[in-house]
Structure 1
Amino acid sequence: MPLTFLLPLLLAQAAPFDLDNPYASALPREIVEKKADADRKRREQEAMEVALPSSRSAVGCLNSVDKDPERSAQLARDAMADAIGRERVRAGLCLGVALSDLGRWDQAREAFVTARDAAGEDDHASRARLGAMAGNAALAEGEPGQALGLLAPAANEAKQAGDTELTASIALDRARALVAVKQPDEAAAALAQAREAEPDNAQAWLLSATLSRRQNKLIEAQAQIEKAAQLSPRDPEIGLEAGVIAVLAGNDGAARHSWRSVLEMAPDSPAATTAKQYISQLGPESTAKP
């Protein structure tokens, strides 16, 4: 059976078209989950760094989230009981972070929404970040439609705040949710918005390439993965996807080169394990197409 028939079957097994891996990339699930968790942690840290007045209990909560999220959640609830205004924002943020660490996504979403609503109407930065975190909690809960309802106003707030990085990040989340509700064309438009807001975001170009490839737009996928590689030449996930696009375009030699680069860059990674599987399907190099 030709590789072009074998490879999509392997892709379907390694990366199902679902919420955990909405772009059905070549990436194994463990890569996707690790990346999603890292993105969530980064956003939580960024939100914590937003300049907000703090009470002693709120500070104690934030400082102890990693060590004891259950206690942090209780500290935040205690702070919420008496907090008003922006102190309520910080307490709600801490509660949402703690509940996220505990995997209580529905409660975390509610906490982030409460914190967002406590922020002033003119505090676009806080409202954008907290709204985005609420949307992420909804996605983790398996509610992409609900996530879209939270991410749309967050996107507007981010634009009013002039935060292009956050605007791009929210656009990526919207794309993730749109794919989950089976609206790939709308997801492609959201990815275009992410690229426009932050042209140097390699992840936006990688996900765009993967979605284009899934839509059988191989010319667009090739251009997008090349841009991703220019921005982040040592990202093994980009090398893995570049090989998939190449082999589906009939260029086995380029695919082999891309997958070998993954082995060189990250030999012990899950991406390397998948690259080895793909290379083995190509067969001996002497039989590969030029």
Structure 2
Amino acid sequence: MILPLLLLSASVPADPAFPDRCLEWVRDDPAKAVAQANRWKLEGGGVAAQQCVGLAEAAQDRWPAAAAAFEAAARAAEVAHDPLAATCWAQAGNAWLAGGDPARARTALDTALSAGTLSGQPLGEARLDRARAAVAAGDTRAARDDLDAALAAAPDDPLAWLLSATLARRQGDLPRAKADIAQALRRSADDASVQLEAGNIAASAGDETGARAAWTEASRLAPDDPRGRSAQAALKQFETPAKP
């Protein structure tokens, strides 16, 4: 399932103890991991320990607390001239997005990207998150710029292709929407979000057969969550009304 995730792929600092010490704590008991990370911080764990607090808070869906911890880690990294500052700002932006605060997310992501130190997948994820924040703010032009940059930096990310397709459909660019959803389907056809949008795009293009097929698949993949229910509702337009 494609969902916004913290940038764990970019979160591991140079401290070789970080993966074993923090990620294991978070997996075992996120609530306890907050206390463990704070103790590590007092023992001189520095940026890695503060970042660990953020990961532990995020694992509990405590998004404002997670974002604050990542921002604290970012500021500490800046003081130490640690290149991890950009990663921490990006994680803060992701957490603010998950917590429903796109304005603060955009500010954090602007800071992350202005450093110029992110590259590859982490850069793509940060640009993708900033695009999501821009869409929430109604700034579709900025969103398109960031999505195109995300696709260039992380071309194998199905979420980037999905969101690019969705934005193109909303802007009335069906050729772009079709091309981009095809890329998302190549990478994640078993995701209900992708199949739901594939149906939306097919319906917008007047392709009833394609819409039926994609929405049916979305419903099959996620029958009990909002994506599946949305697909089921969309399929009802094709039902033949009962004769009186």
TM bin, normalised by shorter chain, reads 0.7 to 0.9
* Cα 1:267–1:133 shift into 2, 3 Å: closer
Q: Residue 210 of structure 1 aligns with which residue?
A: 166
Q: Residue 140 of structure 1 aligns with which residue?
A: 98
Q: For 1:102-141, what aligned pairs fall within 5 Å after superposition?
A: 102-119=60-77, 123-124=82-83, 126-141=84-99
Are the counterparts in 1 of residues 89 and 111 from structure 2 also a CA contact under 8 Å?
yes
- Match 1:260 to one of 212, 216, 228: 216
RMSD: 2.8
**Is residue 131 of structure 2 the alignment partner of residue 167 of structure 1?**
no
**Is residue 39 of structure 2 the alignment partner of residue 75 of structure 1?**
no
Are the counterparts in 1 of residues 195 and 215 from structure 2 also a CA contact under 8 Å?
yes
**Is residue 11 of structure 2 the alignment partner of residue 52 of structure 1?**
no
* Cα 1:139–1:268 shift into 2, 3 Å: closer
Which fold has the larger relative contact order, with Cα–Cα distance below 8 Å and residues 6 or more apart in sequence?
1
**Is residue 231 of structure 2 the alignment partner of residue 275 of structure 1?**
yes
Under a length normalisation based on structure 2, what TM-score does the superposition of the two structures give? 0.82
**Is residue 45 of structure 2 the alignment partner of residue 91 of structure 1?**
no
Are the counterparts in 2 of residues 54 and 90 from structure 1 also a CA contact under 8 Å?
no
Deviation at 1:96, TM superposition (A): 1.2
Under a length normalisation based on structure 1, what TM-score does the superposition of the two structures give? 0.71
* Cα 1:156–1:254 shift into 2, 3 Å: same
**Structure 1: tracts of 5 or more residues without a match:** 1-30, 285-290
Q: Residue 196 of structure 1 aligns with which residue?
A: 152
Are the counterparts in 2 of residues 135 and 150 from structure 1 also a CA contact under 8 Å?
yes
**CA offsets per residue over residues 132-158 of structure 1, 9 Å max, x none?**
11112222333322211211232244x
* Cα 1:119–1:274 shift into 2, 3 Å: same
Q: Residue 25 of structure 1 aligns with which residue?
A: none
- The residue type equivalent to 2:13 in the other structure is V
**CA offsets per residue over residues 184-227 of structure 1, 9 Å max, x none?**
22112111111111223221111111112222332322222123
Deviation at 1:88, TM superposition (A): 0.4
Are the counterparts in 2 of residues 109 and 133 from structure 1 also a CA contact under 8 Å?
yes
- The residue type equivalent to 1:97 in the other structure is L
| Identity over aligned pairs, percent | 34
* Cα 1:81–1:212 shift into 2, 3 Å: same
* Cα 1:257–1:276 shift into 2, 3 Å: same
Deviation at 1:248, TM superposition (A): 1.9
Equivalent-residue separation in structure 2 for 1:257 and 1:214 (angstroms): 21
Equivalent-residue separation in structure 2 for 1:99 and 1:232 (angstroms): 29
- The residue type equivalent to 1:75 in the other structure is Q
**Structure 2: tracts of 5 or more residues without a match:** none
Secondary structure in 2 matching 1:65: helix
Secondary structure in 2 matching 1:160: coil
